[in-house]
Structure 1
C-alpha cells in the first residue's frame, strides 16, 4: 500500500509540475482564477501534510510568486513521501479545519484526500486553460503510467 501511495504522490507531483510549467509560460494569458487554483492545490497538500505532522501550515488560499510554485511542489512531494514511509496509515489523527471544526481521520484518508483534491483542481485548471485557447495537459493517471 505504501508504494502505491508514493506512486500516486509522484504522479501528483509530475502533473502539478506540468501545470505550473504551462501557467508560467502563458502567465500573461491565464486568468487570476487559474493562478489561484494552482496555489490552492499546492497549499492544500501542504495543509494535509501539516495536519498529519502537527506542524504549522500555509493558508489554503495564499498566493505565492509563480517562481516559488515548483519549489513548493517539490517540498510537498518530499514531505508526503516521508509521511508515507514513516507513518502507520491506519493511525487516526485529530485536526481542525480552517473554520475551527474538529475532525478525526486516518493518515491514509488524509493522504488520499490530498491526492484526490489535486486531481480535482488540475481538471478545473485545464478547463480554464482551454477556455483561454491554451492547450490543456492530459493529466489522467493512465497517461502517466504509459
Structure 2
C-alpha cells in the first residue's frame, strides 16, 4: 500500500508542477484559476497537518495566493507528503485520525481515507483549472495518471 500511495503522490506532484508551470508561463491573471490552485494546495497541506495532529490555521482553505507563493506551496506539499509516506511505520494506512474540519465539527477517518480524499480532491480541481485555462485560450497541460506512468 505504501508503494502504491507513494506512486500516486509522485503523480500528484508531477501534475501540480505541470499546472504551476503553465500558470507561470502564461502569466495567468484569472482569479478563479489562481483561487482553485491555491485551494487545492492549501487542502493538501491542511490534510497532512491533520494527520500529523498539528495546527491547520496558517493555511486558510480559500485564500488566493500569488504565483511565487504557489510555487513554494507546491514544493512544500510534495516534499512533505512523500516524506510522510516514506516515514510511515506501517504498510497499511488504517490508523484512525480525529480532527476538526474548518467549521469546527469533529470527525474521524482512517489515514487511507484521507489520502484518497486528498488525491481525488486534487484531481477534481485540476480538471476545473484545465477548463478555465481553455476558456482563457490557454492549452492546459496533460495531468492524467497514464501520461505520468508512460513517461516514468
Note whether the superposition's TM-score is higher than 0.5: yes
Alignment coverage as a number of residue pairs: 145
Alignment partner, residue 80 of structure 1: 81
1:122 aligned residue (107, 126, 130):
126
Q: TM-score, normalised on structure 2?
A: 0.90
TM-score normalised by the chain length of structure 1: 0.93
Q: 1:96 maps to which residue? A: 100
Bigger RCO (CA 8 Å, 6+ sep): 2
The Cα shift of 1:83 comes to 2.3
Could you say which residue in structure 1 is the equivalent of 2:10?
A: 10
Query: How far apart, CA to CA, are the structure 2 residues paired with 1:73 and 1:112?
Result: 18
User: What does the per-residue CA deviation read over 1:43-76, in whole Å, with 9 as the maximum and x for residues that have no partner?
Assistant: 0000100000011221111222211212211111
Q: Is the 8 A contact 1:90 1:106 kept in 2?
A: yes
**What secondary structure is seen at the aligned counterpart in 2 of 1:99?**
coil
CA distance in 2, matches of 1:95, 1:116: 20
Describe the SS at the equivalent of 1:94.
strand
- 1:24-103 → structure 2 map (5 Å cutoff): 24-27=24-27, 29-57=28-56, 58-87=59-88, 88=90, 89-103=93-107
Distance 1:48 1:7 in 2: 18
Q: 2:60 & 2:122 partners in 1: Cα distance?
A: 16
Consecutive unaligned residues in structure 1, runs of 5 or more: none
Partner of 1:140: 144
Runs of 4+ in 1 over 4 A off after TM superposition: none
SS at match of 2:65: coil
